[in-house]
């Protein structure tokens, strides 16, 4: 039996000093190859001098994170040479174009916090669940100090590692702290699917059941677990909940239902609560003055090209109708990590009154 052919190895992606990205694909039988995600339009690859290899170099791209896929004769695939993969319902390869000076999400020579992954027993699910914890620089040395805590939730297709791998939430905080732009805080990144994702997903049916289970797990299991192992402040004024997409909807709903627990609430590109606000949150509209007094910040952001934009518009209009104080930021961009990284940096700077000033 003949051994299968060994495909030649080629560097892909490759980023030059001007921000141009070269991608290559070994596809000897292909008739056409295009790449999507490295610009506004798909870009066709050409066969290189070695006939088996297709390649293209983009124009200079703005410093940012990019998600891309190949389309080979109509079939979508990731870059087999690229180890960086966004793990969503569908996959995409990822490439970073660095900036000068480095972006907030880029590694810099500053003091770094620690990331710890835990498995905790959940009475809600009857099993174990994953959670990732960020502690700021100096946490271990400050043995008597307590810290504010943020519960940071991910989107539908992700897991508890998404804000680390793709959002770089910890790197952004390290850099903000080094510039004295935020307070040191503990960040809790839990897995957002206490209800297993069904084989055929109907989000409108799945989301409410999953949200109810997430709320139970948070209060009955996760928060007690965190409180027993980390020096989190017991003060509601030092507790926040925020998330993106599905996690944004979870954060907005849970946070606004439990203002006795959370003083800071946020949602990025959220699957925002729909329907009549008074019916969804009766306690929220019964005493608006009390709600506004308890909410230190309700922050909502969405990109103008996001498919959830109209959900956010409707939710914000409901807040306005009932006089609930909030901040709404509509920016360029779609349902992407480049948008959510910026929102996280903005929200983190606002949290807990900002950094202590001399």
Q: For 156-177, write each residue's pLDDT tens digit.
A: 989 999 999 989 999 999 999 9
Give the DSSP H or E segment for 246: helix 246-257
Pick the CATH number of 114-353 from 3.40.1360.10, 1.10.260.40, 3.90.1150.10, 3.40.50.1820: 3.40.50.1820
pLDDT, mean of residues 34-53: 89
CA distances from 131 to 98, 193, 222, 223, 315 (A): 29, 12, 9, 11, 29
Q: Tell me whether the CATH fold assigned to 14-97 matches the one assigned to 114-353.
A: no
Pick the CATH number of 14-97 from 2.60.40.10, 1.10.3720.10, 3.40.50.880, 1.20.1290.10: 2.60.40.10
Q: How confident is the model at residue 267 (pLDDT cuts 50, 70, 90)?
A: very high
The whole-number pLDDT of residue 227 equals 97
Q: What is the pLDDT of residues 220-229, one digit of tens each?
A: 999 999 999 9
The whole-number pLDDT of residue 178 equals 97
| Dihedral sign computed on CA atoms, order 278, 279, 284, 287 | positive
Strand-strand pairing, 264-268 and 75-77: unpaired
50 close to 95: Cβ distance less than 8 angstroms: no
Quote the CA–CA distance of 121 and 132 in Å, as a whole number. Answer: 14
Q: How confident is the model at residue 48 (pLDDT cuts 50, 70, 90)?
A: confident
pLDDT, mean of residues 88-98: 88
The whole-number pLDDT of residue 6 equals 52
Which of 20-34, 193-207, 327-341 is the least confident region? 193-207
Q: How confident is the model at residue 5 (pLDDT cuts 50, 70, 90)?
A: low
* pTM, to two decimals: 0.90
The whole-number pLDDT of residue 2 equals 60
The whole-number pLDDT of residue 358 equals 30
In the chain, where the domains are located: 14-97, 114-353
């Amino acid at each position: 039996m003949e051994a299968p052919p060994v495909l030649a190895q080629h560097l892909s992606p490759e980023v030059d000093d001007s921000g141009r990205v070269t991608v290559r694909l070994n596809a000897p039988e292909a008739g056409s190859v295009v790449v999507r995600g490295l610009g506004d339009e798909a870009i066709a690859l050409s066969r290189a001098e070695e006939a088996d290899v297709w390649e293209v170099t983009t124009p200079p791209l703005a410093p940012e994170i990019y998600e891309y896929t190949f389309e080979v004769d109509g079939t979508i695939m990731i870059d087999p040479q690229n180890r960086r993969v966004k793990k969503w319902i569908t996959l995409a390869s990822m490439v970073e174009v660095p900036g000068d000076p480095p972006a907030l999400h880029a590694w810099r020579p500053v003091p770094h916090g620690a990331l710890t992954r835990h498995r905790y027993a959940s009475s809600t699910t009857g099993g174990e669940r994953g959670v990732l914890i960020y502690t700021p620089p100096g946490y271990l040395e400050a043995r008597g100090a307590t810290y504010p805590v943020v519960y940071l939730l991910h989107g539908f297709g992700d897991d508890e590692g998404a804000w680390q791998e793709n959002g770089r939430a910890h790197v952004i905080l390290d850099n903000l702290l080094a510039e004295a732009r935020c307070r040191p805080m503990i960040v809790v990144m839990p897995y957002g699917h206490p209800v297993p994702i069904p084989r055929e997903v109907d989000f409108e049916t799945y989301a409410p059941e999953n949200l109810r289970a997430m709320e139970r797990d948070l209060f009955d299991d996760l928060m007690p677990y965190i409180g027993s192992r980390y020096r989190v402040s017991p003060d509601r004024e030092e507790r926040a909940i925020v998330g993106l997409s599905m996690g944004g909807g979870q954060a907005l709903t849970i946070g606004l239902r439990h203002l006795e627990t959370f003083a800071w609430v946020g949602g990025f590109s959220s699957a925002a609560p729909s329907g009549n606000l008074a019916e969804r949150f009766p306690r929220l509209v019964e005493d608006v003055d009390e709600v506004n007094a308890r909410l230190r910040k309700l922050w909502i952001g969405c990109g103008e090209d996001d498919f959830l934009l109209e959900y956010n518009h409707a939710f914000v209009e409901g807040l306005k109708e009932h006089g609930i104080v909030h901040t709404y930021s509509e920016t360029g961009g779609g349902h992407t990590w480049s948008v959510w990284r910026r929102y996280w940096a903005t929200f983190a700077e606002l949290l807990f009154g900002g950094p202590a000033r001399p």
